[in-house]
Amino acid sequence: MNQEKSRYQHAEHEFGPVYDQNSKVLILGSFPSVKSREQQFYYGHPQNRFWKMIAAVYGEALPDTIQGKRELLLRNRIALWDVIESCDIIGSSDSSIKNVKPNPIDEVIAHTGIKRICCNGEKAYCLFIKYNPELAVEIPIRKMPSTSPANAACTLERLIEEWRAALYLQ
């Protein structure tokens, strides 16, 4: 137990949300991976399929810079953030997350036209519901298959299909 306890690190979310007043769909992750924290931007691990999925859903080229990724999201009216502002975590393991301080998701909602929230994976969904029960009632929310490499059972093609259905507002 002490050895596991010593592997925990307190981590802060050190980069802000991506959104503008035109954003219609908010995608929420749980907390940035070690690679994402190093790069100071979302989904920085090369094996994470988030950027491949987003580019495919919108029929666009895969962006290779942070600015290109930001522009891809905003051009398609997507806001992006994480549920957690800070927590204790072992590496990038969602299952190890404890001592959560949530991000103020309602601040992004207040400055946008968000019509749907898509949670990238089970952990993001459960944490969002736990810390934002009022928003979960006000805005339709969807639990999406995680783009993480840990979700290897879900193919890229299936991710694209499921996310496309959720991201296009009817």
Q: Coil, helix or strand for 154?
A: coil
In 10 A of CB 6, how many CB atoms?
Answer: 9
- Which residue has tokens 């990238």? 120
In a domain, 72, yes or no: yes
Any idea of the CA torsion for 12, 26, 131, 42, to the nearest 10 degrees?
-20
In a domain, 3, yes or no: no
In a domain, 144, yes or no: yes
Tens-digit pLDDT profile for residues 94-140: 889 999 999 999 999 999 999 999 999 999 999 999 999 988 788 99
- Mean confidence (pLDDT) of the chain: 92
- Residue ranges making up the domain that contains 54: 18-83+102-167
Tens-digit pLDDT profile for residues 1-57: 445 556 899 999 999 999 999 999 999 999 999 999 999 999 998 889 999 999 999
Q: At what angle do helices 156-167 and 50-57 cross, to 10 degrees?
A: 60
Annotated catalytic residue: which of 48, 103, 120, 132?
Answer: 48
| CATH number where 69 lies | 3.40.470.10
In a domain, 146, yes or no: yes
Does 48 qualify as catalytic in the annotation?
A: yes
In a domain, 77, yes or no: yes
In a domain, 7, yes or no: no
- Which residue has tokens 């909602």? 109
